Structure 1
Amino acid sequence: MGKKILLLLIILTSFIIASCSSNNNNNNFIGITIYRTDDPFANSLKSNIEKFISGRAKYIVNDSQNNQTTQNSQIDSYIAKGAKVLVINLVDTQAAQDIVDKAKKSDIPIILFNKAPDISVINSYDKVWYVGTLSEEAVNLQGKIIVDSWKSNPSWDKNGDGKIQCVILEGEPGHADTKIRTENLISFIENNGIELEILDKKTAMWNRNRAKTIVDFWMSNHNSEDSDKKIEYIFSNNDEMALGALESVQEFGYNKGESNKFIPIVGIDAINETIEEIENGNIVGTVLNDSVNQARAVSDLALNLFKGETSNPILGTVWTLDNTKSVRIHYKPITIEVQESNNK
């Protein structure tokens, strides 16, 4: 009798182990992290990725809440649960190497997107790819909007000195896009024959409320009646901060329809609110950072990798990889003129 019970326990234990193993195999999924979903552009990426993957593969998506420690824990959890592919929108690009090393150790393919890591990170593992834009392209398009609009509107030069007295709202310190969108923009404008006088530049961390607070301070200090160095242009590294700038200048009576009380503002991303403000004549322009196609490229590669296509993750797609194992999504300029021509 004791032997029968022992045999039954052994069979039952084997069944439980087999069932757990089977469940782990069935738990193959795509593990996705978004650096923060309260960022409208990042949230648009999340929504579109979910739309493109839904029904085609199992996936888990998490908001890292702009906290690298939180993201690290999410990735560790994905690996422990048997993720077949990792799709990571980094909180901090400086953490990229550690994350890729974890994926490599577990032999899991990984896609990084939207925030570009150093090329050495991409080269460190044969199963890592990047999907995103070239910041230089965005800067050139934003710079062209600024140059063309300034030359077309001589009345914007309030003190008639031939220079643009400008302020710059910067993104996250240490972020590659922040550096390029500031330094390269300045070079582009100056190389096109326009002299800049930068009254101030501050980081607003891509955030609308922070941008408004900063611009409130600038407006109080630079745009008083007796100031001879009034703000003549606001350059913003992204649209969220540009919208914060607009809220601020409107509270000071600018950009509300009076041509003699207008401070031009430009951003990058082309989120819906910004396009509406461009159509209303309150913002000069923005540059389309195409979240739909970026999400589509991320999803196409992730689905191929999920099927085991690690040798050529762009197989059967419209995408191409450059020599840095990256899919590049191109920017497009958005101004009121472009909007009008697109609607014809």
Structure 2
Amino acid sequence: MKKLLLLFMTLSLMLLGACSMEPPNWAKPAKKHDLKNIKIGLSVSTLNNPFFVSLKNGVVKEAKAKGMTVIVVDAQNDSAKQVNDVQDLLQQGVDALLINPTDSAAISTAVQSANESGVPVITLDRSADKGKVETLVASDNIKGGKMAADYIIQQVGKKAKVVELQGVPGASATNERGKGFHQIADKELNVVESQSAHFDRTEGLNVMENLIQGHPDIQAVFAQNDEMALGALEAINSSGKNIVVVGFDGNDDALKSIKDGKLNATVAQQPELIGKLAINAAGDVLKGKKVKNYIPAPLKLVTK
């Protein structure tokens, strides 16, 4: 009898294990024939950054042209707030979600909630680690990181001492820009230190001040966004040193700084285009069309 009971329990566990291995049965998005009066939810990581303001503007402008309504929420770089924001958007009955994640791992639960509700999700600039995302609309961040490293080598030569200002830990843009940069920099340059400044200008200034004190012979810095690059530039100007600074994004302040001969370069994205492409992808998904897993927006290196 004990053997039979043990066999039954073993078979039950095996069946439960097999069930848990099956892919989740997400609800299918409702197919729309007319995009008029469609309600789009847009969750942005922070609107305290000109890049994401431009991204939002691209979404709103294209949605308006198509007769869609957009509800915008600002996560203020708080991953827990962003998850709650997305839940609120779902409660408001949005037809599709556009998410620019603060943290690619933390946003996964919100993406899965949308999946269960049958609301299609499109991510912008950064991806989500888990859950079903229809497409990621973003620049090729790995390529951009390589472009920055190549430019620094051209300016200061091989084996030069450089530092890296990293973005928000866990964000896919942080990981990918760093990956591309290090693929070249670890072989051709001397990266003496990498520190996070959370894509923030003030933190970029403070972190750069500390890095200059710890490494007074730095020759260049790669900042993973323009806000940190501009903050680093303030610290460098205060120190009186001559250090090459390369940013990433191509926001208006950075472009003006390059024109004025201050910032050396930026790997320029097209945030408004990213927003426009995301709305177009959302429309295609709602109409039942297939979209590519990744929709790229072109990059270009901007120098004086």
Normalising by the residue count of structure 2, what TM-score does the alignment of the two structures yield?
0.81
Amino acid at match of 2:82: Q
Paired residue for 2:263, among 276, 283, 289? Answer: 283
Q: Which runs of 5+ in 1 are unaligned?
A: 1-25, 152-161, 224-229, 255-261, 314-320, 337-344
Q: Matched residues, percent identical? A: 24
After TM superposition, the structure 1 = structure 2 runs for residues 108-257 of structure 1, keeping only pairs within 5 Å, are 108-118=119-129, 121=130, 125=132, 128-151=134-157, 163-191=159-187, 194-196=188-190, 198-223=191-216, 230-254=217-241
- Match of 1:166, SS? strand
The alignment yields a C-alpha RMSD, in angstroms, of 2.1
> 2:279 maps to which residue?
299
Q: Distance in 2 between matches of 1:296 and 1:27?
A: 18
Amino acid at match of 1:217: N
Amino acid at match of 1:31: G
After TM superposition, the structure 1 = structure 2 runs for residues 33-112 of structure 1, keeping only pairs within 5 Å, are 33-54=43-64, 56-112=67-123
Q: Distance in 2 between matches of 1:73 and 1:231?
A: 42
Amino acid at match of 1:327: I
CA drift of 1:265 comes to 0.7
> 1:327 maps to which residue?
295
CA drift of 1:183 comes to 4.1
Larger radius of gyration between Structure 1 and Structure 2: 1
Q: Distance in 1 between matches of 2:63 and 2:169?
A: 32
CA drift of 1:132 comes to 1.1
Q: Distance in 1 between matches of 2:86 and 2:100?
A: 11
Q: Distance in 1 between matches of 2:278 and 2:199?
A: 23
Q: Distance in 1 between matches of 2:189 and 2:210?
A: 24
Q: Distance in 2 between matches of 1:217 and 1:89?
A: 30
Query: After the TM superposition, which segments of 4 or more aligned residues of structure 1 sit over 4 Å from their partners?
Result: none
Normalising by the residue count of structure 1, what TM-score does the alignment of the two structures yield?
0.72
Q: Distance in 2 between matches of 1:130 and 1:334?
A: 25
- Match of 1:281, SS? coil
CA contact (8 A) 2:165 2:223 kept: yes
Q: Distance in 1 between matches of 2:37 and 2:260?
A: 49
- Match of 2:118, SS? coil
CA drift of 1:252 comes to 1.8
Amino acid at match of 1:326: Y
Q: What is the number of residues matched between the two proteins?
A: 268
> 1:13 maps to which residue?
none
> 2:24 maps to which residue?
none
Q: Distance in 1 between matches of 2:144 and 2:178?
A: 11
CA drift of 1:189 comes to 3.3
C-alpha distance 248-80 of structure 1, shift in aligned 2 (>3 A): same
> 2:6 maps to which residue?
none
Amino acid at match of 2:209: D
Q: Which runs of 5+ in 2 are unaligned?
A: 1-35
> 1:10 maps to which residue?
none
- Match of 1:45, SS? helix
